[in-house]
Amino acid sequence: MASKSAAILRRALLYVPASSPKFLQKSRTLTVDTIAYDLEDSVTPTLKPEARQNITSFLSQKRPSSITELSVRINAVSSGLALDDLRTVLPSPNLDALVIPKVNRASDLYFVTDVLKHTLPERHSPSSPNPIKIIALIESAESVMNLNEICKASPYLSGLIFAAEDFALDLSLTRTPSLTEFLYARSAIATAARAHSLPSTIDLVCTSYRGPEGQKTLEEESLQGKGLGFNGKQCIHPSQVEIVQRTFAPGVGEVEWAVRVVIGDEKAEAGGRGAWTLDGKMIDAPVVGKAKATVKRAELCGIDIEAVRERWKDQEPE
């Protein structure tokens, strides 16, 4: 069964090429939820052995306190390079997760799961509190059609990522500013992840982000993805991280409404009431559930929920 760890926060997943010692060291200064040190697309075939050694050395150093999750994107299982990647990086003490590209079918994750269990049996026993997590990249029509099987393929699966450029290549699509050509795939991914209780759904890369117009596009894309059910976004440059993490955190108004609902519901329940209203809107179980989830996510994002609760402590159910 897939991981149900709701405490995982991956608002921004930033790719850093493992072939560059300069970029690896620079990443230590960043504040970001997840970094995926890349052994795949950003590394040429001749540099892959060197990149493996770079990331192994890097992950054996003191853990950066401002990066929540350290992950490595290995090469696709179908490439024939994945096993060498895994053998090299899995012993790294600070490795939290693996990003697996081109997951077209469940067998891709069966392979990775078997290697995890064989290489690190203690860390991947049923009672282990901290197994290495798997995040799967959905990049093709085949993978979208196989989402149900993929989501059930590993007990360590912790999220799905939509790779728009590869998906566009597979379907001979042209990416447009509206992104409507990706609506079906994005909706399918977000829905499948929720159906299988996967904590992370990470949206497509924003390819234009420099300057005011680029930043505006990045924010608009992030809001659109959030509206489709994604709770994070891939980043290809450190300058994207702040906007993405701010956008995928609950806003001030969103948090205040959620706290008011939670406080009102606590009082309604104590008074034996079921449905009630707030500001003229009916509040029932689904609304309360969403409010509680918003409060939980706000806490993970470092928002002072106790201060908000104090401001609204006198909220009553109407």
User: Is 203 noted as a catalytic residue in this protein?
Assistant: no
Write out the DSSP string of 13-69. Answer: EEEEETT-HHHHHHHTT--EEEEEEESSTTS-GGGHHHHHHHHHHHHTSPPPTTEEE
Give the list of residues 6+ apart from residue 96 with CB closer than 8 angstroms, or none. 69, 70, 71, 132, 133
- Rounded to an integer, what distance in angstroms lies between the CA atom of residue 74 and that of residue 232? 20
DSSP-H helix ranges across the chain: 21-27, 48-59, 82-89, 106-119, 141-145, 147-151, 164-171, 183-195, 211-228, 241-247, 252-270, 285-300, 305-311
- Rounded to an integer, what distance in angstroms lies between the CA atom of residue 234 and that of residue 241? 9
- Return the amino acid letter for 182: F
Both tokens of residue 136? 């799967």
Selecting among 41, 203, 284, 314, the annotated active-site residue is 284
- Return the amino acid letter for 65: S
| Three-state DSSP state, 83 | helix
- Rounded to an integer, what distance in angstroms lies between the CA atom of residue 190 and that of residue 233? 12
- Rounded to an integer, what distance in angstroms lies between the CA atom of residue 74 and that of residue 84? 9
Catalytic residues: 284
